[in-house]
Amino acid sequence: MQQTIENIRSKALEAIKNALTTDNIEEIRVEFLSRKSELNNIKKNLKDLSNEEKRIIGPLANKVTTEIETQLNEKYQELYQKELNEKLEKEQIDVTLPGSYLPYGKTHLLTQTINEISEIFEGMGFSLVKNENSPEVETEYFNFDMLNIPADHPARDVQDTFYTTVAPNVILRSQTSGAQIHEMLTSKPPIRVIAPGRVYRNESVSARKNNLFHQIEGLLVDKDITFADLKGVMNEFIRIYFGSARPTRFRNSFFPFTEPSAEIDVQCIMCNGKGCRVCSGSGWLEILGAGMVDPNVLRNVGIDPEVYSGFAFGMGVERLAMLKWAVDDIRLFFNNDVRFLKQF
Ligand code: PHE
């Protein structure tokens, strides 16, 4: 019996000595010290031994148990430290390495352009219309009727305007000019507002035209407003937006809701007026429509044209961005290709 215990002891100590991991230690612990272990069996069966044997075997079994326990714990500590060090070594972070690159987003060129133009007009005392005065889903009444555009006007043609199935008169607005009407119906002169937003036209998509694009509408109504005021404001806007006093040209034009009306051209930024592909050889680029608010429109919204006058203008945001940044295809604004977007 004594020899058996001795054997267990040397087997256990040998195993502990050869253990390589803390997991090994746990296996050894189970093998030599668990309830089902040989040593434990001996202790359980002590009662069957003679008194003399009990006196020797009992203390010996306990001594060996304690010895194995102590050895196991020591070795466990040693291996645990070793494993921990290895782990720390492996997971070490080199803080001197360069960090990983996180791509950051930026404001879309269209939004940048809208913000920039809005700020220029805000600097001249204009403010943004309230959202509810500039709805994208509009009625023909605001988009056309109130703007002096008669029912048989070609602009209403289903080929140009997107009609909805909501109701016969509900459309996607084809211009931001309806915001003029909303504004004049809800506030009294003096009025000085701009209304940027999306407009929709049922046209075939090309490098120059998209079904969806953006306009910025402007409206100023007060006493004694003349065409000279319109000209001054437009020239100031162009000077600030294009960064220098570019030559401009006011061309006689027609809009049902302004009289007189003009289209404003800016000297071609590509060829400085010499004539090139972009300006179709003319040396000029059209950037906006404008005019004095038609007396009929003022009457429609209950403003007395004998007392008040005003001007309105509308510009295409994509067009202005394309001119400033030499972008040659309007579809680039809507394709969401980061290679394009990150350039601005
Ligand atoms: N709404 C016109 C267009 O879309 C532009 C415009 C606005 C003209 C205001 C005159 C006054 O072409």
Strands 127-128 and 162-163, sheet pairing: unpaired
Q: Per the CATH hierarchy, to which homologous superfamily does domain 109-341 belong?
A: Bira Bifunctional Protein; Domain 2 (3.30.930.10)
pLDDT at position 271 is 85
Name, in order, each residue with C-beta under 8 angstroms of 283's C-beta and a sequence gap of 6 or more.
267, 268, 271, 273, 274, 275
344 CA distance to ligand 1 centroid (A)?
Answer: 28
DSSP 251-320: EEEEETTEEEEEEEEEE-TTTTTS--TTTTTSSEEEEEEEEEEPHHHHHHTT--TTT-EEEEEEEEHHHH
pLDDT at position 100 is 86
Once rounded to an integer, what is the mean pLDDT over residues 307-311? Answer: 98
What is residue 28's three-state secondary structure? helix
Shortest-distance Cα residue to atom 10 of ligand 1: 290
pLDDT at position 5 is 92
Q: Above 80 in pLDDT, residue 339?
A: yes
pLDDT at position 245 is 67
Once rounded to an integer, what is the mean pLDDT over residues 142-165? Answer: 88
The amino acid at 337:
D
pLDDT at position 276 is 86
Q: Above 80 in pLDDT, residue 304?
A: yes
pLDDT at position 105 is 87
pLDDT at position 207 is 84
- If one residue of 146, 175, 220, 319 were mutated to test the ligand 1 pocket, choosing by the most ligand atoms within 8 A of its CB, it would be 175
pLDDT at position 78 is 94
Shortest-distance Cα residue to atom 2 of ligand 1: 314
- CA nearest neighbour of 256 among 312, 189, 194, 186: 312
174 CA distance to ligand 1 centroid (A)?
Answer: 10
4 CA distance to ligand 1 centroid (A)?
Answer: 107
Over residues 71-129, the pLDDT tens digits come to 999 999 999 999 999 999 898 888 898 888 888 889 999 999 999 999 999 999 999 99
- From the number of C-beta atoms within 10 Å of its C-beta (0-12, 13-18, 19+), residue 49 rates as middle
Once rounded to an integer, what is the mean pLDDT over residues 328-336? Answer: 92
Name, in order, each residue with C-beta under 8 angstroms of 241's C-beta and a sequence gap of 6 or more.
116, 117, 120, 320, 324
Strands 191-200 and 212-222, sheet pairing: antiparallel
Two structure tokens written together for 267: 């000297």
Query: How much is the mean pLDDT over the chain?
Result: 93
Spatial separation of the C-alpha atoms in residues 28 and 24, rounded to whole Å? 6
- What predicted TM-score, i.e. pTM, was given to this entire model? 0.72
Name, in order, each residue with C-beta under 8 angstroms of 238's C-beta and a sequence gap of 6 or more.
246, 248, 264, 266, 287
CB 181 within 8 A of CB 147: yes
pLDDT at position 2 is 86
CA angle 27, 32, 36 (to 5 degrees): 100
Percentage of the chain exceeding pLDDT 70: 100
Name, in order, each residue with C-beta under 8 angstroms of 225's C-beta and a sequence gap of 6 or more.
292, 308, 309, 310, 311
Over residues 231-284, the pLDDT tens digits come to 999 999 999 998 876 788 999 999 999 999 999 998 887 788 898 877 889 999
CB 174 within 8 A of CB 209: no
DSSP 77: H
221 CA distance to ligand 1 centroid (A)?
Answer: 16
Once rounded to an integer, what is the mean pLDDT over residues 16-41? Answer: 93
176 CA distance to ligand 1 centroid (A)?
Answer: 8
Over residues 54-63, the pLDDT tens digits come to 899 989 999 9
DSSP 144: T
- CB of 144 closer than 6 A to ligand 1? no
Alpha-carbon distances of 80 from 71, 85, 243, rounded to whole Å = 14, 9, 70
Strands 170-172 and 137-139, sheet pairing: antiparallel
